Structure 1
Amino acid sequence: MILSEFIAIAGIHFLAVVSPGPDTAIVINNSVKFGRSAGILTAAGVGCGIIIHVLYSALGIGYIVQQSVLLQQVMMTIAAIYLGYLGVMGLKSWASAYDADFDSPQGQISKRKPFLNGFITNGLNPKATLFFIALFTAVVSEQTPLLDRLGYGVYLVFATFAWFAFLASVIGHPRIQKQLQQSYKVVNVVMGLLLLLIAFRLAWSIVYEM
């Protein structure tokens, strides 16, 4: 593994992963609603979603995605619909927010759902794919062995998970979570609108590129 490449990749990735986006929104949303464990499972899903982009980039498959406008539009459409759905569901529950019982069965969530939320949100994000393609193209030399490229990918997966797990641990801390749940109606509306805004931006990108 080339140290200079690794440091560059780690630095650029850190700046990207801490920037607010769909992954941040879904991790915070699940952490507030369902607690730390659900937030960490969502973070694990996001981390596993990174595997898709890393494989695209490290194996050169991402070039196909980069060159195919149609494929990018299909991915963006699916992502926009999914994020829009999550946003609408968040806004839809605002009317009963004051009566929300987070300890009831309705206030719980299966282990699979938050993981899938994170995985789908990240895995279907074509902008993430393009980011990793650009990262590997600009930073990683063509002479860098495949094993080293995959090593960078493993780091990116775990670094992504670590950041979002940390975020989930903070937001999902019982004291902080309880305070946020007391403002559940406001949080629901804000997160719902944020997800809808991200979905709208994806949809606008599709229309703009057509």
Structure 2
Amino acid sequence: MGFDFSVWLAIAIMHAFAVASPGPDFAVVMKQSLQQGRAIGIVTSLGVGSGILLHVAYSILGISIIIKATPWIYQSLIYAAALYLIWMGIGAIRSQANSGTSLKSDDIVSHSAMKAFFIGFITNGLNPKATLFFLTLYTLAIPVESSLVSKSLYGLYLAIATALWFVFVSILASHHRVRKSYITHGYIFDRLMGAVLIAMAIVLVLTQ
């Protein structure tokens, strides 16, 4: 079975609702964009989009079903994600008032870019909610008889659409006026964001 427009439309609608709902990806892109600037925020967004390809790959290979059907593997994924969120949250909560007096430059050095990309990639890649989303998508929304090429094209769309959405978020968050306000009140945002990330980790563990 080849590419089906109606299947793609169903995928696009499901994805739109999923990607627009606040989660770790949104929190990390916002944090990176405000702290490091537009360029780093965009690179982080591209990392998040690339993380989607990881979910697509194991969904196509059927590994997502194995992960879901094997409790200890799935639980390990959840705990790893929770620990990662807590680690980021603690770092944000430790933010100090007036720790900086000027906006950081948007100039990207290779080390910063690689780190930003990795942060986005690992945040999305460790998200068990994404695992469940793709498990549902590739077992229910996408017909089993769909060709490998079609399944790959659907996945590529999801990765690109995710990246574009978060690039848009990073552009808004890194607007000069927004970042200028961040200089004065940034530590408050950082601490709130840290609390949100830790709360996400706790909810993630308790609701599984």
TM-score (norm 1): 0.91
Task: Please say if 1:46 is aligned against 2:48.
Answer: yes
Which structure 2 residue ranges, 5 or more long, are not aligned?
none
Letter in 2 for 1:138: L
Q: Report the count of equivalent residues.
A: 202
| Conserved? CA contact 1:17–1:160, under 8 Å | yes
> For 1:1-210, what aligned pairs fall within 5 Å after superposition?
1-93=3-95, 96-103=96-103, 110-205=112-207
CA distance in 1, matches of 2:194, 2:125: 20
| Conserved? CA contact 2:103–2:179, under 8 Å | no
CA distance in 1, matches of 2:100, 2:39: 19
The offset of 1:32, in angstroms, is: 0.8
SS in 1 for 2:115: helix
- In angstroms, what is the RMSD of aligned CA positions? 1.7
CA distance in 1, matches of 2:104, 2:131: 39
The offset of 1:142, in angstroms, is: 1.1
CA distance in 1, matches of 2:144, 2:180: 50
The offset of 1:101, in angstroms, is: 3.6
CA distance in 2, matches of 1:26, 1:12: 22
The offset of 1:180, in angstroms, is: 2.6
| Conserved? CA contact 1:56–1:129, under 8 Å | no
Q: Percent identity?
A: 39
CA distance in 2, matches of 1:174, 1:101: 14
SS in 2 for 1:142: coil
SS in 2 for 1:44: helix
| Conserved? CA contact 2:103–2:183, under 8 Å | no
Letter in 1 for 2:181: Q
TM-score (norm 2): 0.92
CA distance in 2, matches of 1:25, 1:130: 20
- Segment drifting more, 47-56 vs 158-167: 47-56
Q: 1:102 to 1:120 in 2, by over 3 A?
A: farther
Stretches of 4+ moved more than 3 A in 1? 101-105
| Conserved? CA contact 2:98–2:183, under 8 Å | no
Which structure 1 residue ranges, 5 or more long, are not aligned?
none
CA distance in 2, matches of 1:68, 1:58: 18
Q: 1:104 to 1:48 in 2, by over 3 A?
A: closer
